[in-house]
Amino acid sequence: MCGRTACTLNPDDVSRSCRYKRKNGCKKNPKWVKNKDKYYPSHNKAPQSYSPILLNGNHFLNAGNDCPYVSGDDERVLCAMRWGLIPKWFKGGNVDKVNYSMNNARSDTMLEKKSYKIPLQKGQRCVLVVEGFYEWHTSSAGKQPYYIYFPDKDSDEPSSDPEDDQNENQPPTRLITMAGIFEKTLYENEDFYSFTVITVDADPSFSWLHHRMPAVLANDDEIDKWLDYENVPLDKALELIKPKNCLKWHPVSSFVNNSRNHGPECWKEINLDEIKTSTPTKYKQESKSMMQWLSTAKSSPSKQASVEQPSPSKAKHKVTAGAMDRFVKKAKRESHE
């Protein structure tokens, strides 16, 4: 699955990082055609937020006066869309209170659900572009978040040239590109764009972390085929939707767990070995002090009675004694580490 992403680039840098080669060989930055003002950079983007989406420019050839002029030269364009697909038949209400669970679309069942099947048949294929995403590994110790991203460009990939790098001091960021489905719904008398991320069974290299992963489009050729709904039929495009072994990851802190946190601490790498082997000194000192106090209390009959024989009329004392017992057991374990 895919439940959190990160994209910290401003809109212009998103466009520059999505530079593509047109069919005539010329390179071009895709233009923003809608909702540019609704996208905001963040290290921690959750469903219902607006994310940058690549799609075929032909979807906007006759979009009306509220969109910049789009010509046949605009093979790809950018539009900020709300994460969480809103079906075409949605009527009225508040989209933020919609109960549809459509942040992700499973590849194995999406053609069985008309919410996904209908837009796919209409060619409404899109690509989510982000710097990375997060996934949580579940174990007996709890849930550990990881940040996942594309590795640096391999040596066998085309190297950048002056046309690719308009700013030599800041080369374009390599963005993760995920296959998605978008929908356009009339909401408050305007075209409302939303999307879902397609997910697949995890590649063996990734399955230790989670059993599902986004349908990653690994290179520009795959992006082109997925977006070119006029020349690449759906059955051929779906051949691209499969597990990929092309990602890197590192553990991050639980800071990312709260979707209200948007800072760089979300994707900062942490050392799990240091966390597992270190116990706060302050906690150990408090444990020892508590055990010393308990030893003194047990040597005094009056104090012992106050703990072991609480008044029946004061139930909260029983809870306190129970909590004390749990603390003692935990402190003893810590003292033996």
Beta partners for residue 139, in sequence order: 142
Instruction: Give domain status of residue 309, yes or no.
Output: no
Instruction: Give domain status of residue 138, yes or no.
Output: yes
| Residues 231-237, mean pLDDT to the nearest whole number | 97
pLDDT digits (tens, 9 = 90+) for 50-100: 999 999 999 998 666 567 788 888 999 999 999 999 998 887 677 777 766
CA distance 171 to 176: 16
pLDDT digits (tens, 9 = 90+) for 288-309: 555 565 555 555 554 444 434 4
Beta partners for residue 194, in sequence order: 82, 183
Instruction: Give domain status of residue 85, yes or no.
Output: yes
Q: What is the mean pLDDT of the chain?
A: 82
Could you tell me the CA-to-CA distances from 48 to 85, 144, 174, 292 in Å, in that order? 9, 24, 24, 53
Instruction: Give domain status of residue 264, yes or no.
Output: yes
CA distance 90 to 97: 12
If you ran DSSP here, which 8-state letter would residue 98 be given?
A: -
Residue 254 in tokens: 């639980």
Residue 253 in tokens: 């802190």
Q: Taking a C-beta distance cutoff of 8 angstroms, is the pair 187, 90 a contact?
A: yes
Q: Which residues contact 67 (CB under 8 A, 6 or more apart)?
A: 33, 34, 60
CA distance 37 to 43: 18
Identify the CATH number of the domain in which residue 76 sits: 3.90.1680.10
If you ran DSSP here, which 8-state letter would residue 95 be given?
A: G
Q: Which of 155, 154, 243 shows the shortest CA–CA distance to 205?
A: 243
* β-strands 176-187, 27-28 pairing: unpaired
CA distance 124 to 137: 32
Kindly state the percentage of the chain with pLDDT values over 70. 73
CA distance 117 to 109: 10
pLDDT at 310 over 50: no
Instruction: Give domain status of residue 298, yes or no.
Output: no
Instruction: Give domain status of residue 172, yes or no.
Output: yes
Instruction: Give domain status of residue 336, yes or no.
Output: no
93: domain range?
4-278
Q: Is 28 helix (H, G, I), strand (E, B) or coil?
A: strand
CA distance 334 to 337: 5
Q: What is the pLDDT of residue 292?
A: 61
Looking at the 3D structure of the chain, how many domains does it have? 1
CA distance 171 to 165: 6
If you ran DSSP here, which 8-state letter would residue 100 be given?
A: -
pLDDT at 319 over 50: no
CA distance 125 to 317: 63
CA distance 105 to 200: 9
Q: Is 155 helix (H, G, I), strand (E, B) or coil?
A: coil
Terminal alpha carbon distance of the chain: 38
Q: What is the pLDDT of residue 290?
A: 52
CA distance 78 to 128: 10
Alpha helices in 153-300 (DSSP H): 220-227, 234-237, 272-277, 281-299
CA distance 24 to 50: 32
| pLDDT-wise least confident of 20-29, 156-165, 204-213, 232-241 | 156-165
Q: What is the pLDDT of residue 46?
A: 94
Q: Which residues are annotated as catalytic? A: 2, 135
Distance, CA of 287 to chain centre: 39
Instruction: Give domain status of residue 295, yes or no.
Output: no
Alpha helices in the chain (DSSP H): 11-17, 114-121, 220-227, 234-237, 272-277, 281-299, 301-308, 315-335
